[in-house]
Amino acid sequence: MQSYLRFIKHAFDFDSKDSRQQFWLPFLIQMFICIVILLPLIKAEEGENILGRLLFVMIVMPVVLIPIYSAFQRRMLDVGKDSKIYKYFNIFYMFFGVIFMIYGLLYFFSDIKLFKDEIILPIIFLFFGLRFIFLLYYCALPTNKFKSTTDSI
Q: Is the Cβ–Cβ distance between 95 and 89 less than 8 Å?
A: no
Using a 10 angstrom Cβ sphere, with 0-12 exposed, 13-18 middle and 19 or more buried, the burial of residue 150 is exposed
Distance CA 55, CA 45 (A): 16
pLDDT at 100: 81
Distance CA 39, CA 80 (A): 35
Distance CA 55, CA 135 (A): 28
Distance CA 143, CA 20 (A): 8
Largest separation between any pair of C-alpha atoms in the chain: 57
Q: Where are the domains of the chain?
A: 1-78, 80-145
- Condensed to tens digits (0 to 9), the pLDDT of residues 13-44 reads 888 888 888 899 999 999 898 888 878 767 76
* pTM exceeding the 0.75 threshold for the entire prediction: no
Distance CA 130, CA 126 (A): 6
Q: Is the CA virtual torsion 34, 37, 39, 41 positive or negative?
A: negative
- Condensed to tens digits (0 to 9), the pLDDT of residues 72-119 reads 888 988 888 777 888 888 888 888 888 888 877 777 777 766 666 677
Using a 10 angstrom Cβ sphere, with 0-12 exposed, 13-18 middle and 19 or more buried, the burial of residue 76 is buried
